[in-house]
Chain A
Amino acid sequence: MKNNYDILIIGGGPAGALAAKTAAEAGNTVCLIEKRAAIGTPVRCAEGIGKELLKEFIKPDPRWIAADIERARIISPNGTAISLEQDRAGNEVGYVLDRKIFDRELVWQAAEAGADVIVKTRATAPIMENGAVRGAKVLSVGIPADIRAEVVIAADGTEAQFARRAGLDTVVPLREMMSCAQYLMTDIDIDAGSTDFYLGNEIAPEGYLWVFPKGNRTANVGIGISGRKSRDGSRAKDYLDRFVAKNFPNGKTIEAIAGGVPVCRPLACTVADGLMVAGDAARVVDPITGGGIGNAMYTGRLAAQVASKCIAAGDCSKEALMPYDAEWRASKMGTVLERNYKVKEYFVTLDDAKLNTLAESIAQSSLKEFSVLGLIKELIKRNPKLLLELKALKDTLS
């Protein structure tokens, strides 16, 4: 293992992989470390991503696409279904990936571009000099070492600790942590072409339950509930078990995972002297859908682009790295995150009766645009009596 690089990347998920690939292609010496023994496993994701978003980063490949989705359905507490077909579906339907292979492919591409990849290696602490991050102390297969770098990109996911130990506040408030559990189930009756989202406080308080197909009679069946709604006997797993017992009593579970999805606002600042934060670690997860793969790839790539310029200019101070923070906030991703955060804050106030009313109002509509924005516009148009109540939602559009 070398001990000196231009860029050290912590975490081998989509953010870290895109950062490593981009930085290596720009001519930097790059090291990506992953604390787990293998890239892409265990999966902690529902694995859905919009088609157009994915194509911005990688050419779709049948090796890691588990299902090509034709429609999405939102199912209200009383069973009213809003069906959204592919031709109007935009970014909310798309592919269900096989993350074990997908993540490996992304890191493979980074390695081919010239990045060093070291697995079973975790960062235990930042190397700090005069308040600036200058690399990381690591444990590589149990052996301590120092890896020094001009810039460290922290892409260490939801349980991000590197940035926190370098002085950034990365703590997710309990109410904004979606507590999630998921089963990969087979031998179940599903619509293999539809991603289904179940809403309701009895089903998934302040969150939703998903059935994302991964082929014929196989799907990711998972749930996210707000951390503040989680308690003994009413945890994410308990809600999921109740749904599965009712809807898929004869299904077989071949994988069971759990995880947290932050639906808070992104970090107040995603750079510090010698440090950049990307992906879930930066909390750039869509607060409505919980989707984070595309945003991770976007921020990982952008972080590496900005870092490369700063290294070439010989200045990796917080001020020099700031264009990364400013650019993603001003981007489409940044504006959508802010808008969807406000939308999420509205939707978590709704009881089941109100959710049913809203769903019924647009169940028969022919939506011109299936996106969060399109859905909100339709809700406002179809519910003039609720206009005062929907004002907060309307304001998010301005």
Chain B
Amino acid sequence: MLRINRDKCGYCGTCVAVCPEDALELIDVYLSLERECIACGICARACPLGALEVIHEE
């Protein structure tokens, strides 16, 4: 699953542009997980501020 740290997020949309599943949406100044995330981690790598974290559940 994807965890968004809203304290770190800069609402810049970088993650949205690289998400291959169109799972993220930037609504005004609010980043939202709108669709099914496949936990690929691409958004977390692209984030300039380290606001996204993929957690693989056991």
B10 to chain A, nearest CB (A): 4
**Which of A93-101, A153-161, A349-357 has 4 or more CB atoms under 8 Å from chain B?**
A153-161
Contact of A159 among B17, B20, B47, B50 (CB under 8 A): B17
Within B6-58, the residues touching A (CB, 8 Å) are 10-14, 16-20, 22, 25-29, 42, 45-50
A177 touches B28 (CB 8 A): no
Q: Is A242 positioned at the interface, with any CB of B under 8 Å from its CB?
A: no
A236 touches B17 (CB 8 A): no
B13 touches A260 (CB 8 A): yes
CA distance in complex: A170, B16 (Å): 10
Q: Is A104 positioned at the interface, with any CB of B under 8 Å from its CB?
A: no
B13 touches A227 (CB 8 A): no
B28 touches A258 (CB 8 A): no
Chain A residues within an 8 Å CB radius of B25:
161
B12 to chain A, nearest CB (A): 4
CA distance in complex: A227, B19 (Å): 12
Q: Is A235 positioned at the interface, with any CB of B under 8 Å from its CB?
A: yes
A171 touches B26 (CB 8 A): no
CA distance in complex: A122, B45 (Å): 27
Q: Is A181 positioned at the interface, with any CB of B under 8 Å from its CB?
A: yes
Within A232-283, the residues touching B (CB, 8 Å) are 232, 235-237, 256-260, 262
A203 to chain B, nearest CB (A): 15
Instruction: With CB as the reference atom, state the residue of chain B lying closest to A181.
Output: B48
Q: How large is the interface on A (under 10, 10 to 19, 20 to 34, 35 or more residues)?
A: 35 or more
B18 touches A171 (CB 8 A): yes
CA distance in complex: A114, B19 (Å): 37
CA distance in complex: A149, B48 (Å): 37
B49 touches A260 (CB 8 A): no
Main DSSP-derived SS at the B contact region: loop
Number of chain B residues whose Cβ lies closer than 8 Å to a Cβ of chain A: 23
Please judge, given known A-B contacts A37-B28, A120-B28, whether A257 and B12 are in contact too, CB under 8 Å. yes
CA distance in complex: A171, B20 (Å): 6
B48 to chain A, nearest CB (A): 4
B45 touches A230 (CB 8 A): yes
CA distance in complex: A84, B7 (Å): 41
Please judge, given known A-B contacts A161-B25, A179-B47, A180-B48, whether A259 and B14 are in contact too, CB under 8 Å. yes
Instruction: With CB as the reference atom, state the residue of chain A lying closest to B50.
Output: A235
B28 touches A35 (CB 8 A): yes
B58 to chain A, nearest CB (A): 21
CA distance in complex: A165, B17 (Å): 13
CA distance in complex: A259, B16 (Å): 11
Chain A residues within an 8 Å CB radius of B42:
174, 227
Instruction: With CB as the reference atom, state the residue of chain A lying closest to B16.
Output: A159
B13 touches A237 (CB 8 A): no
Please judge, given known A-B contacts A35-B27, A158-B17, A172-B17, whether A227 and B12 are in contact too, CB under 8 Å. no
Q: Is A164 positioned at the interface, with any CB of B under 8 Å from its CB?
A: yes
Contact of A228 among B45, B48, B50 (CB under 8 A): B45
Q: Is A36 positioned at the interface, with any CB of B under 8 Å from its CB?
A: yes
A258 touches B45 (CB 8 A): no
A contact set with B: CB distance below 8 Å: 35-37, 42, 44, 120, 122, 157-161, 164-165, 170-174, 177, 179-181, 227-228, 230-232, 235-237, 256-260, 262
Task: Known A-B contacts: A173-B18, A177-B17, A232-B50. Give 6 more (CB < 8 A).
Answer: A42-B11, A122-B27, A122-B28, A177-B46, A259-B10, A260-B18
- 9 A-B contact pairs sorted by A residue (CB < 8 Å): A37-B28, A122-B27, A159-B14, A171-B17, A227-B14, A232-B50, A236-B48, A257-B12, A258-B14
